[in-house]
Amino acid sequence: AQSVTQLDSQVPVFEEAPVELRCNYSSSVSVYLFWYVQYPNQGLQLLLKYLSGSTLVKGINGFEAEFNKSQTSFHLRKPSVHISDTAEYFCALHGPNNNDMRFGAGTRLTVKP
C-alpha cells in the first residue's frame, strides 16, 4: 500500500527565516511526488512535482524540494519565508497505475512578523 506521512502538523516560523516541511512516503513501486499549497477558503494549488530526473525540484514562490529515494523522503524547503506563505501544505503521491492521489495530513505553516 502507498502512503504519505507529513511529520509536522504545525510549523511556526518568523518572517525571513528558512523553513523545511517534512514528508516521508511509502511505496513498493516508483511514484510521482507533489507538494500542494492551500490558502484559506481556497482549493489546492500545485507548488512543485517530482516525476523523474534531477532529485532537486524547484517550484513556484521560491520553494524547492529534494527527492531522496534511500530515505523515502520529499522535504519541502524555502530559504526565506514571507507572511504570505502562511497556508496549509500537502505532500502527495501518485502511483503509475493509480487513478487517485494519496495526500498527507497537511502541515500548517504560520509565518510570524
Partner 1 sequence: KAGVTQTPRYLIKTRGQQVTLSCSPISGHRSVSWYQQTPGQGLQFLFEYFSETQRNKGNFPGRFSGRQFSNSRSEMNVSTLELGDSALYLCASTRDRGNTGELFFGEGSRLTVL
User: Of 20-28, 34-42, 59-67, 77-85, which segment contacts partner 1 by CB under 8 A?
Assistant: 34-42
DSSP 67: E
Cell numbers representing residue 49 in the block: 512535482
Is 41 a residue that touches partner 1 (CB under 8 A)? yes
Is 53 a residue that touches partner 1 (CB under 8 A)? no
For residue 10, the minimal CB distance to partner 1 (Å) is: 13
**Number of residues located near partner 1, criterion CB under 8 A:** 22
What Cα–Cα distance (Å) separates residue 109 from each residue in 14, 28, 33, 47, 48?
10, 30, 20, 14, 17
Is 90 a residue that touches partner 1 (CB under 8 A)? yes
Q: How far apart are CA 67 and CA 79, in angstroms?
A: 17
- 36 and 46 in contact (C-beta within 8 Å)? yes
Is 26 a residue that touches partner 1 (CB under 8 A)? no
For residue 100, the minimal CB distance to partner 1 (Å) is: 5
Q: How far apart are CA 38 and CA 90, in angstroms?
A: 8
Contacting residues toward partner 1, per CB under 8 A? 32, 34, 36, 41-46, 49, 51, 90, 94, 98-106
